[in-house]
Amino acid sequence: MCCAKSILSICYIFIVYLALNHLVVIPNLASSSPSSLSDINNVHGQPASISKYPWTVSIEFENQILAGGTIVGKQHVLTNARVFHDLPKKKNFYVVHMGTDQFYNHSLEEVGAMITIDEFKLHPDYNPETGANDLAIVKLAKPVPVNRHTIALAQLPNGKDGQVGDRAVANGLYLPDPQRSDINFVLASLPMTIIDQQTCRTKTKDDNPYKLTEQMLCAVPQNARKGLCEHDIGFPLTTSTGHLIGLNSWYRTCDHTVGKPAVFTRIANYTDWIKQNLN
């Protein structure tokens, strides 16, 4: 009986290990080559202060960043469903790192606040094969310590947010020095412009992992030499007034995204579901 339990425990750990290595967005810095890490900065915008985007968080497991996320309630965060798909729904398995623009901390000094996840719920119509309804809501183990400067709630979109031609800012990650493995990833910001669906289909037809739907929103970098990539999954797209209009959804490598549209989960299509799960 003891041997059987040991074997089951080993199998469980192995399955979790494979799942995490399949889904983890940010590679371990020590095992990443300088060239692959420099790709992050080659395509990203500029380092940003958390005071400008205080709703932005990272979702982490054992110093690995699974994805970004956005604070939308006193105890809730939005991110992508793909982050948790096929992973164990185990309490306290993950942490949300907030209140900082240094998301990958190798020092002993804690930066910002870290709160464990109590539970998460995937959108009931999420389809990992098509990427449809790529949205999850996370309930934290305790309320977020909201303050005036570094931790705040993003507002859900109103009917006028996210129109074609509107400008917004996408957040992601930036590595200050790709040659060093002991430095944090820091928050980055990239100005974007929302484009129509047909233009988006044309510009992404060569590397389109999914079918573009009305539940998705496309935005193109205002700087044609920049772009979002796999390191930015789950990070928010917000307006200048702090309205959350999208979460970066499509997983594409950095070398295929320069000057191309990024595809986001369109938050305006899910406000009813989000509000139901905030109450």
- CATH at 59: 2.40.10.10
Q: Express each pLDDT in 164-204 by its tens digit.
A: 999 999 999 887 766 665 557 889 999 999 999 999 988 88
The answer to the question of residue 41 being in a domain is no
The answer to the question of residue 58 being in a domain is yes
257, 185: one domain: yes
171, 254: one domain: yes
Q: Express each pLDDT in 6-63 by its tens digit.
A: 443 444 443 344 343 434 344 433 334 434 444 555 456 788 999 999 999 999 887 7
According to the model, what pLDDT value does residue 268 have? 96
At a CB cut-off of 8 Å and minimum separation 6, what does 260 contact? 203, 204, 207, 220, 227
Looking at the structure of the chain, the number of domains it has is 2
128, 203: one domain: no
214, 242: one domain: yes
The answer to the question of residue 42 being in a domain is no
Q: What 3 state SS string does 94-141 have?
A: CEEEECCCECCCCCCCCCCEEEEEEEEEECCCCECCCCECCCEEEEEC
The answer to the question of residue 32 being in a domain is no
Does residue 262 contact residue 194 with C-beta atoms inside 8 Å? no
Give which of 279, 172, 148, 272 is closest to 231, Cα–Cα.
172
Q: Which residue matches tokens 């044609």?
A: 224
The answer to the question of residue 20 being in a domain is no
The answer to the question of residue 94 being in a domain is yes
According to the model, what pLDDT value does residue 13 have? 40
Q: Express each pLDDT in 240-259 by its tens digit.
A: 999 999 999 976 666 666 77
Does residue 204 contact residue 67 with C-beta atoms inside 8 Å? no
252, 173: one domain: yes
131, 203: one domain: no
What is the distance between the alpha carbons of residues 63 and 106, in angstroms, rounded to a whole number? 8
Q: Assess whether pLDDT exceeds 60 at residue 159.
A: yes
- Tell me the whole-structure pTM to 2 decimals: 0.83
Give which of 17, 29, 27 is closest to 181, Cα–Cα.
29
According to the model, what pLDDT value does residue 37 have? 46
111, 80: one domain: yes
The answer to the question of residue 187 being in a domain is yes
Residue 250 structural domain: 167-269
In the chain, pLDDT over 70 holds for what percent of residues? 73
Does residue 34 contact residue 179 with C-beta atoms inside 8 Å? yes
The answer to the question of residue 180 being in a domain is yes
